Structure 1
Amino acid sequence: MYHLHREQWLDCTLDEAWSFFSSPRNLDRLTPDAVGFKITHLESDVMHPGQIIAYKVKVAPMVWVNWVTEITHVENGRMFVDDQRVGPYKLWHHTHRFEEKDGGVLMTDDVCYEMPFGPLGALVHKLFVHDQLQYIFGERRRLCAEIFSGGEATSESGESLGASPHTEE
């Protein structure tokens, strides 16, 4: 089991952050083009428990996989959880949290995930998946900083908050 933890301060109100992140269509804006992410099924633009979202993601040149997630928990304005139902991972549980802090919003992502195929999956994680997730969440951090603060996300002391990646194995 692996764990990825990211925090980022956003220069916006909680309502603005929630409005943006609770709209599944905005996932396109936060996913790097190189990932080849495409939403293929979305019945409602309003997030709700039980919502199913289907995507295609490019895992290698000309190799696409289907990924289906379910929004399993929603606490309006505070948090939501998406769990993989079909896709490239044996397990994917992603908790998104939002908290008013320092005149903005502290956004926290916690992802618990497990690779399929036992030792082979562990090798693929080490050689490819770990770095790919660091890239995806790094780009997401950069894009959120552009969207919400017009630049680098920082604390009141000027310390960068966006670059707090933490992946445990």
Structure 2
Amino acid sequence: MVMTDQIVKAVEAAIEDLYGQSAPQGSVTLQETREGFEGELTLVVFPFLRLSRKKPEDTAQDLGRYLTAHLPAVVRGFNVVKGFLNLSIQPACWISLLQDIWQNTKYGFTAATGSSPLVMIEYSSPNTNKPLHLGHVRNNLLGWALANIMEANGN
């Protein structure tokens, strides 16, 4: 299971365990932590205040303690900034993620389906009766790279 999915499921379980109510659908959102703050992922706590009936800082502290206790393989630590819970992720999680990416040769590729749009990429076709120059090579490489990107995207 992907690390973010594990965290989302653990937050939903925390809301259920701590406050006796289920989190509203789609209310658990993780974002990349802004520069200048400690942590890698940020959980916005404001959607849970109605359920907890506490201040944002207290709700974030509750959730942070729950996550570090129940998900120690993923969450290394946390800090609270107003209504935001900044999570520090265990280095082993990042290493595991990179190993999964390394082993999957088709990582990031999307298979073409019957509903994939047909795309034609037209790029340079230089006149063979004239000398080739660096501009022709550049345009050929750009077209080739774009075709590879579109193929990886399922087109």
Give the TM-score normalised by structure 2: 0.32
Which structure is higher in RCO with an 8 Å CA cutoff and minimum separation 6?
1
Higher strand share: 1
Give TM-score scaled by structure 1 length: 0.30
Pick the structure with greater CA Rg: 2
Higher helix share: 2
